[in-house]
Amino acid sequence: MALIDVIAEVAGKVWKVEAEVGQKLEEDDEVVILESMKMEIPVGAPADGTLKEILVGEGDAVAEDQVIARIEA
């Protein structure tokens, strides 16, 4: 099995964590919602798999292209 990184596409703040470690995800299922420029931007799973690790928490600042979670596919 491979670990796949979930990447923040924009810089912003983690508004809400939508998924839990151990949860089975399908491609495009929401993992977190970022707030950037007063907009809510969902970050989805890049592939089907099981969420193994969440690297950010609600309120955390994230940079563009930062790894925010990992999925085992």
> At 13, which CATH number?
2.40.50.100
Residue 1: predicted pLDDT: 76
Domains contained in the chain, number: 1
CA pair distance 5, 13, nearest whole angstrom: 18
Model pLDDT for residues 8-60, shown as the tens digit of each residue: 999 999 999 999 999 999 999 999 999 999 999 999 999 999 999 999 999 99
Q: Which domain holds residue 16?
A: 3-72
Q: Which two tokens stand for residue 3?
A: 């670990």
In angstroms, rounded to a whole number, what is the distance separating the alpha carbons of residues 19 and 37?
Answer: 23
